Homo-oligomer: A and B are copies of this chain.
């Protein structure tokens, strides 16, 4: 099996254009999917459980066909049984990961406590932080069923103090993924329902007789799920619609080339659209990484996916120096950024945009994907320019708190009235003026 890797050099006169072309990814909208999803959501909104039951029996090929929604509820005892039945090593690994994720996310919660301050005239201003009441977590079924995603989505909600965490996970052909159920048990999910697709998103957003409507839906899914989430946005909150996963490795040429090659593979094996790029100032080292790629590819069970992804969307990029590598990294705003270098902090300090930064040669992305603690749900497709990893803050919101004292109303009222008249909003002005004491 051969692999053709794209080489770029920042010294090329058309480098910027080449890089743009490499990064370009336009999520295409499939009209057939859009129409189908719109119809399913409308049906679920109006027929509720009956619609969800029909779609689930049909799309997930439930053996025999479930007679009622009750058949899709997974009792807590079944979750606990799945956890007990796991091989010991797997259970310990899941529990260790969950605990580390919890600890990191507790730090996020500590940071956001709200505040209050009192002005000399007794006016009090502040910001109150509250958790969402009820959230839905979508977990894909079938081959892309990832217990680690259950932890990464549910643990932050739990830490935020969300009272009810409703997880939906389709079970094609009625087959349940035991590791996913075990992860739900560890994460403290309130309720697991084995439904999926646009019908599950609709049920969570609008509610049915058996499913209470949630305030926000998070978690990855296929094109139908993504389209459904976009459509219910506004009725409920949603997380970002994720694009293909990406890794950008900045390397100064001091890391074992096999390690870097395998890090690139670990992204490429996800998906044929995944993107793995290395930036390095050392041409000899780039050649070594390429040799490692050729050597290691045949040993990979998912070699086909890796080869397609690396060929279509991967690149090895020669840069002038690490400083330039950082500038390019800021333009790319990668989901995962490895800085595999001596003294990585000096380069990290120059990075303004990245979903997660992995510093030093021991910090492979795969460690972060599972168990370092920070979330693995990260902004893709350059959205790290303006968005953040999934976190506790996604399950909290703020309310402003304003208590104006009688004295405060005297000064603030005049300012507000002046501006309100300037904007032609007289009731605003009068509302402020009514609170003014009559002049003595």
Beta-carbon contact of B399 and A351 below 8 Å = yes
A423 and B266 CA atoms in complex are apart in Å by: 13
Cβ contact of A427, chosen from B94, B302, B403, cutoff 8 A: B302
Q: A203 CB to closest chain B CB, in angstroms?
A: 17
Q: A22 CB to closest chain B CB, in angstroms?
A: 17
Beta-carbon contact of B428 and A266 below 8 Å = yes
Report B-chain residues with C-beta under 8 Å of the C-beta of A434. 256, 258-259, 262, 364
Beta-carbon contact of B416 and A367 below 8 Å = yes
Beta-carbon contact of A370 and B420 below 8 Å = yes
Q: A155 CB to closest chain B CB, in angstroms?
A: 14
Q: Is A397 an interface residue (CB 8 A)?
A: yes
- Residue ID in chain B nearest A411 by CB atoms: B96
Beta-carbon contact of A367 and B422 below 8 Å = no
Q: A105 CB to closest chain B CB, in angstroms?
A: 10
* Stretch in A1-9, A64-72, A166-174, A373-381 with 4+ CB within 8 Å of B: A373-381
A90 and B388 CA atoms in complex are apart in Å by: 39
Given A371-B415, A412-B372, A415-B93; A403-B234 close (CB under 8 Å): no
Report B-chain residues with C-beta under 8 Å of the C-beta of A371. 412, 415-416, 419
Report B-chain residues with C-beta under 8 Å of the C-beta of A427. 262, 265-266, 268-269, 300, 302, 306, 366
Q: Is A391 an interface residue (CB 8 A)?
A: yes
Cβ contact of A386, chosen from B132, B365, B381, B419, cutoff 8 A: B132
* Stretch in A189-197, A280-288, A316-324, A353-361 with 4+ CB within 8 Å of B: A353-361
Q: Is A348 an interface residue (CB 8 A)?
A: yes
Q: Is A31 an interface residue (CB 8 A)?
A: no
Report B-chain residues with C-beta under 8 Å of the C-beta of A381. 234
Beta-carbon contact of A432 and B127 below 8 Å = no
Given A215-B386, A362-B408, A386-B397; A426-B367 close (CB under 8 Å): no
Report B-chain residues with C-beta under 8 Å of the C-beta of A265. 427, 430-431
Tell me how many chains of this kind the complex includes. 2
A195 and B269 CA atoms in complex are apart in Å by: 46
Report B-chain residues with C-beta under 8 Å of the C-beta of A360. 403-405
Given A366-B432, A427-B306; A398-B391 close (CB under 8 Å): yes
Beta-carbon contact of A422 and B179 below 8 Å = yes
Beta-carbon contact of A354 and B399 below 8 Å = yes
Beta-carbon contact of B428 and A383 below 8 Å = no
Report B-chain residues with C-beta under 8 Å of the C-beta of A374. 125, 127, 400-402
Beta-carbon contact of B237 and A367 below 8 Å = no
Beta-carbon contact of B97 and A423 below 8 Å = no
Beta-carbon contact of B364 and A266 below 8 Å = no
Cβ contact of A400, chosen from B117, B300, B389, cutoff 8 A: B389
- Residue ID in chain B nearest A144 by CB atoms: B423
Beta-carbon contact of B90 and A422 below 8 Å = yes
Q: A114 CB to closest chain B CB, in angstroms?
A: 8
Q: Is A291 an interface residue (CB 8 A)?
A: no
Beta-carbon contact of B133 and A367 below 8 Å = no
Q: A380 CB to closest chain B CB, in angstroms?
A: 10
Report B-chain residues with C-beta under 8 Å of the C-beta of A27. 234
A404 and B108 CA atoms in complex are apart in Å by: 20
- Residue ID in chain B nearest A371 by CB atoms: B415
Q: Is A263 an interface residue (CB 8 A)?
A: yes
Beta-carbon contact of B147 and A359 below 8 Å = no
Beta-carbon contact of A400 and B435 below 8 Å = no
Beta-carbon contact of A431 and B259 below 8 Å = yes
Q: Is A112 an interface residue (CB 8 A)?
A: yes
Beta-carbon contact of B263 and A405 below 8 Å = no
Which 6 A-B pairs rank lowest in CB-CB distance, beginning with the nearest? Answer: A237-B386, A374-B400, A93-B418, A356-B400, A265-B427, A388-B398
Given contacts A143-B424, A384-B397, 4 further A-B contacts (CB under 8 A): A133-B385, A367-B416, A370-B432, A374-B402
Q: Can you pick out 17 interface pairs between chain A and chain B where the beta carbons lie within 8 Å of each other?
A: A112-B112, A125-B374, A132-B385, A179-B423, A234-B383, A262-B434, A266-B425, A266-B430, A357-B402, A358-B403, A360-B404, A362-B406, A362-B409, A372-B412, A378-B400, A379-B397, A389-B399
